[in-house]
């Protein structure tokens, strides 16, 4: 009997996805037992300021990584979107499960879609990527900064603090809240975030037993797609201060990746794409890197 401890944040979404992953793991490996270590991250403690002001996305993973490095937990379940470009020495993303739908959704109280919302209405989002896409589709709407967990943002919409919010469909689905979506935004309208909808399961690089236990849930196709998207992030040295999006899919011909970068104020928006025969993960990273560098030169 092997017993593994997973480290997770305490938000409803983090607990839902960690527990769903643990259930799938135990199903794949009967005899395995999974315990839970709940960790409060600095991203959870600082809720009143935009992430890009307080130091960026690493804030949601740092304390979970500390729990891995000092042996309190065997693996951590992250939203891949929250994992920075550089993984600390001694740790590795060892398993990337099959990806949930990566698209964003638009939610309003009235049922109005992005095209239908009246001029001057306020969209609540602290994401520079989402704000840039809204600015292109509907320059007549206002953007208000809005942070917080999924439930907090839905409540702020209900209370009328804003007229619309944008959330990841994946998060809503994992919480059983997908009925709240007013409209699923096509990637041509809002290109998804790098890694959105995917999970990254992190552990100590040398912990062969944990890596073996997690291997059955690894989805190589998702790994390749996310590797390509993260290549774009590496090219930009992207932190949260640059609006950036990258979205890779598998087609009959191979890999198709689209990417977008803009200035912080949403201006000078540049897009590009690549189509290549289905690559290895290492090749996919280079494709994304190359696309990102092209956008930087443009």
If the CB atoms of residues 11 and 29 are measured against ligand PBG, the closer one turns out to be 11
Q: How far is the CB of 14 from ligand PBG (least distance, A)?
A: 9
Q: Which of 82, 104, 163, 207 is catalytic?
A: 82
Q: How far is the CB of 294 from ligand PBG (least distance, A)?
A: 25
State yes or no: is 186 an active-site residue: no
If the CB atoms of residues 114 and 168 are measured against ligand PBG, the closer one turns out to be 168
Interface contacts to ligand PBG, rule CB under 6 A? 79, 81-82, 150, 167-168, 170-171, 196-197
If the CB atoms of residues 29 and 114 are measured against ligand PBG, the closer one turns out to be 114
Per-residue 3-state assignment (H helix, E strand, C coil) for the chain? CEEEEEEECCCHHHHHHHHHHHHHHHHHCCCEEEEEEECCCHHHHCCCCCHHHHCCHHHHCHHHHHHHHCCCCCEEEEEHHHCCCCCCCCEEEEECCCCCCCCEEEEECCCCCCCCCCCCCEEECCCHHHHHHHHHHCCCCEEECCCCCHHHHHHHHHCCCCCEEEEEHHHHHHCCCHHHCCEECCCCCCCCCCCCCCEEEEEECCCHHHHHHHHHHCCHHHHHHHHHHHHHHHHHCCCCCCCEEEEEEECCCCEEEEEEECCCCCCCCEEEEEEECCCCHHHHHHHHHHHHHHHHHC
Q: How far is the CB of 171 from ligand PBG (least distance, A)?
A: 3
Could you give the residue numbers annotated as active site? 82
């Amino acid at each position: 009997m092997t017993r593994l401890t997973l480290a997770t944040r305490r938000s409803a979404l983090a607990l839902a996805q960690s527990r769903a992953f643990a259930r799938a793991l135990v199903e794949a490996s009967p005899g395995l037992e999974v315990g839970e270590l709940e960790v409060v991250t600095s991203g959870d403690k600082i809720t009143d300021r935009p992430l890009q002001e307080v130091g960026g996305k690493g804030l949601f993973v740092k304390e979970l990584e500390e729990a891995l490095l000092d042996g309190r937990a065997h693996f951590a379940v992250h939203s891949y979107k929250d994992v920075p470009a550089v993984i600390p020495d001694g740790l590795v993303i060892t398993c990337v499960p099959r990806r949930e739908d990566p698209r964003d959704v638009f939610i309003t109280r009235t049922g109005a879609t992005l095209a239908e919302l009246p001029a001057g209405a306020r969209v609540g989002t602290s994401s520079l990527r989402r704000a840039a896409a809204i600015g292109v589709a509907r320059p007549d709407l206002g953007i208000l900064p809005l942070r917080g967990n999924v439930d907090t943002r839905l409540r702020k919409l209900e209370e009328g603090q804003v007229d619309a919010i944008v959330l990841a469909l994946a998060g809503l689905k994992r919480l059983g809240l997908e009925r709240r979506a007013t409209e699923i935004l096509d990637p041509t309208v809002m290109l998804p975030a790098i890694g959105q909808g995917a999970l990254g399961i992190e552990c100590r690089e040398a912990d062969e037993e944990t890596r073996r236990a997690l291997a059955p849930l690894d989805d190589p196709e998702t790994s390749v797609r996310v590797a390509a998207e993260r290549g774009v992030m590496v090219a930009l040295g992207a932190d949260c201060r640059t609006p950036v999006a990258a979205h890779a899919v598998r087609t009959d011909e191979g890999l198709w990746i689209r990417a977008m970068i803009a200035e912080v104020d949403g201006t000078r928006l540049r897009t590009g794409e690549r189509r290549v025969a289905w690559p290895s993960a290492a090749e996919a990273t280079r494709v994304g890197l190359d696309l990102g560098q092209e956008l930087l030169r443009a």
